[in-house]
Amino acid sequence: MIKTEALYVFSDPITRSKDKYLAVAVQEFRPSVLAFSDTVRGHTVEGKITSDDEGNVRVEDKRGIWEFTPCTLDMFRRKYKNTVANGDDIAEVCETTDDLWEWYRRHFGGNNINFY
């Protein structure tokens, strides 16, 4: 099940990088179309969408496999706070994973996302 309220970490098969990126507003926009924002702009990926009970999402499209994993506060503090602007401040003000997700939704997950 896709957790639309979650902050996700995802891999991008287009760049073929081992880097992970952050995504908010992850949702099934239309049948077989996953939409999300990477904190810069909205994106869509068309393909076979599968998800599990923990919220992990996988999309197979013509470019490869996109994998989205819910980002916990512990994961953010260990792996990602040093890769985002003000990551130390974000990690400090958030006390729970839900706080982290809410912080990202408030700052990057508004209704003004344009999905491409």
* Exposure b/e, 3-16, CB count within 10 A at least 16 = b: bebbbbbbbbbeee
The pTM score is 0.88
> Is residue 99 a contact partner of residue 107, using CB atoms and an 8 Å limit?
no
Could you read off the pLDDT of 31-82 as tens digits, one per residue?
Answer: 999 999 988 888 999 999 999 999 999 999 999 999 999 999 999 999 999 9
Above pLDDT 90, what percent of the chain?
74
| Dihedral class, residue 13 (left if φ above 0, else alpha if ψ from -120 to 50, else beta) | alpha
**pLDDT range class, residue 116, cuts 50, 70, 90:** very low
